[in-house]
């Protein structure tokens, strides 16, 4: 199958299965997936030419099963509070991942990005820190299943990492970065103290609930795992 450098839109994902001798050539195409997932069930017998293509996925819960192949530009965005799962050890030139709000990204195998690796939540708000975590080969979050992500450079924001090893030439630091444990080679945001001040009840995941002082003005960033969250006499009426 050769895209002929044409752009392709898929409303229910892209599935390329089988074990026979076959070739998939993407050329300069942009492949847009609105719903569903990218699924390479097996790469046995496959000659894959990713070329200078772009794969752009938008789905509530997206799974990228790459078959251990080499891709050019890949962008995966979740919607509606959904998460993202990466399966098989893949290689990318550029990789952008955006879960929705505080949704989760589960990495079921080591990933390699020769260029820029971007991870941020889809709402780009400090009140929503998504989770990027290592997991089993089937994409289930499993504490202690550390996965390595190698990148030439990184752009990180509003994300909590768990069981992730940062590798490659990149300096692994960013904005509003949480430490969920089991990580290495990642610089996390300096711990702070936050006070709950939404006396009528509220959501942990909103800046309206938090202050930098007891009974003070709201609007502080929500607590990350390494922060201290305090509920005192000024927290609940």
CB 37 within 8 A of CB 57: yes
Answer yes or no: is pLDDT of 113 > 70.
yes
- Can you list the alpha helix ranges (DSSP code H) found in 77-135? none
As a whole number, mean pLDDT of residues 171-182 equals 94
Band of pLDDT at residue 122, cut at 50, 70 and 90 = low
Give the least confident one: 43-47, 165-169, 201-205.
Answer: 201-205
As a whole number, mean pLDDT of residues 26-39 equals 94
As a whole number, mean pLDDT of residues 74-93 equals 91
Q: What is the DSSP letter of 233?
A: T
Name the residue with higher pLDDT: 217 or 44: 217
Query: Residue 205's pLDDT is what?
Result: 83
As a whole number, mean pLDDT of residues 78-95 equals 91
Query: Residue 101's pLDDT is what?
Result: 73
- Indicate the Cα dihedral angle 50, 51, 54, 59, nearest 10°: -10
Query: Any long-range contacts for 138-142 (C-beta under 8 Å, 24+ apart)?
Result: 138/87, 138/108, 139/63, 139/85, 139/86, 139/87, 139/106, 139/108, 140/106, 140/108, 141/104, 141/106
Query: Residue 69's pLDDT is what?
Result: 95
Q: How far apart are CA 224 and CA 118, in angstroms?
A: 20
As a whole number, mean pLDDT of residues 122-128 equals 62
Question: Which residues share a beta bridge with 160?
Answer: 131, 178
Query: Residue 167's pLDDT is what?
Result: 98
Answer yes or no: is pLDDT of 124 > 60.
no
Nearest CA among 63, 8, 13, 14 for reference residue 35: 13
190 burial type by CB count under 10 A (0-12 exposed, 13-18 middle, 19+ buried): exposed
CB 71 within 8 A of CB 91: yes
Residue 136 CB coordination number (10 Å): 13
Query: Residue 86's pLDDT is what?
Result: 92
Query: Residue 126's pLDDT is what?
Result: 63
95 burial type by CB count under 10 A (0-12 exposed, 13-18 middle, 19+ buried): buried
Name the residue with higher pLDDT: 100 or 50: 50
> In the predicted model, what is the mean pLDDT of the chain?
91
Band of pLDDT at residue 128, cut at 50, 70 and 90 = low
181-204 per-position pLDDT tens digit: 999 999 999 999 999 999 988 888
Name the residue with higher pLDDT: 65 or 206: 65
Query: Residue 206's pLDDT is what?
Result: 85
pTM: 0.92
Query: Residue 156's pLDDT is what?
Result: 94
The H or E element spanning position 107 is strand 104-107
């Amino acid at each position: 199958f050769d895209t002929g450098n044409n752009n392709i839109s898929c409303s229910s994902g892209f599935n390329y299965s089988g074990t026979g001798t076959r070739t998939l050539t993407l050329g300069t195409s942009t492949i847009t997936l609105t719903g569903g997932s990218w699924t390479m069930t097996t790469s046995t017998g496959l000659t894959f030419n990713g070329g200078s293509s772009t794969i752009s996925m938008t789905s509530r819960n997206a799974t990228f099963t790459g078959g251990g192949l080499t891709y050019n530009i890949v962008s995966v965005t979740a919607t509606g509070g959904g998460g993202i799962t990466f399966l098989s050890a893949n290689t990318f030139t550029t990789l952008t991942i955006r879960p929705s709000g505080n949704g989760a990204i589960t990495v079921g195998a080591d990933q390699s990005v020769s260029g820029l690796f971007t991870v941020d939540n889809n709402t780009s708000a400090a009140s929503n820190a998504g989770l990027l975590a290592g997991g089993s080969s089937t994409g289930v979050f499993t504490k202690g299943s550390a996965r390595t992500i190698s990148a030439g450079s990184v752009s990180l924001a509003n994300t909590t990492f768990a069981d992730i090893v940062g590798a490659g030439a990149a300096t692994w630091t960013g904005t509003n970065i949480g430490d969920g444990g089991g990580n290495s080679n990642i610089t996390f945001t300096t711990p702070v103290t936050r006070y709950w001040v939404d006396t009528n009840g509220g959501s942990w995941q909103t800046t309206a609930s938090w202050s930098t002082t007891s009974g003070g003005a709201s609007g502080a960033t929500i607590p990350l795992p390494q922060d201290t969250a305090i509920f005192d006499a000024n927290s609940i009426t």
